[in-house]
Amino acid sequence: MRSTNFFNSYYELLNNKVGSINSDLLLNVASYVKDTNNNSGKVIIIGNGGSAAIASHVTIDLTKAAGIRAINFNESSLLTCLSNDYGYENWAKKAIEYYAEKNDLVILISSSGHSKNIINCAIKSKEMGLSIITLSGFMKNNPLREMGDVNLWVDSESYNIVEITHQTWLLSVVDYLIEAKNSTIKSKE
């Protein structure tokens, strides 16, 4: 296989996956984020591995660029403490117990939709009455995909395709919120 063929096929697949989303779902995500902000809540974004990196990126952009309070739990001392004391499958659930408040929104990212710590976090978030948005991929009937108020799913079993798609979808929501905020400011001037 010629390398240009690989990259052409790869980007065609990636473009297909990114573009496969129903934009109404992204508008729903934006609405949840905006409502959370308007109700003095914060956005909590959680993932493992590459999904944790996505959580960090989106958290920073929401906070800095969109002016929406957002946090993630990627601090190693917190992760290792909660994992050591409660087991890795329960660290995110315990973090939600400690840090979430009633008007918060929880965004959970798992490429497979089977990560036990993310599933347990979703269960705890539901028990606490928090709004939940999920992002998953791989199998269509993964358990995480059924647990959110809005569930975004990528039809792929490739980690990188799923993660790039998740990041693109979430960052498009951030850019949408920034644009909406700037349009409101301009209309008031």
> What domain count does the chain have?
1
pLDDT at 140 over 80: yes
Tell me what percent of the residues of the chain surpass a pLDDT of 90. 93
- Domain range for 133: 3-188
> Which H/E stretch holds residue 69?
none
What's residue 41's pLDDT? 98
* Residue range 97-120: mean pLDDT, rounded: 98
Distance CA 186, CA 102 (A): 32
Looking at residue 138, the DSSP 8-state letter turns out to be S
Task: Give φ, ψ of 168 to 5 degrees.
Answer: -60, -45
- What CATH number did the domain enclosing 180 receive? 3.40.50.10490
pLDDT at 44 over 60: yes
pLDDT band at 188 (very low <50, low <70, confident <90, very high): confident
Name the pTM for this structure: 0.95
Across-strand partners of 71?
44
The pair of structure tokens assigned to 98 is: 């400690």
**Helices 91-99 and 116-127: crossing angle, nearest 10°?**
30
**How many beta carbons lie within 10 A of that of residue 133, not counting itself?**
23
* Residue range 93-120: mean pLDDT, rounded: 98
pLDDT band at 184 (very low <50, low <70, confident <90, very high): confident
pLDDT at 186 over 80: no
**∠88-55-50 over CA atoms, to 5°?**
70
pLDDT digits (tens, 9 = 90+) for 4-32: 899 999 999 999 999 999 999 999 999 99
pLDDT digits (tens, 9 = 90+) for 49-58: 999 999 999 9
* Residue range 25-48: mean pLDDT, rounded: 98
What does pLDDT average to over the chain? 96
* Residue range 127-139: mean pLDDT, rounded: 98
DSSP 95-135: HHHHH--TT-EEEEEESSS--HHHHHHHHHHHHTT-EEEEE
pLDDT digits (tens, 9 = 90+) for 168-182: 999 999 999 999 988
* Residue range 69-96: mean pLDDT, rounded: 97
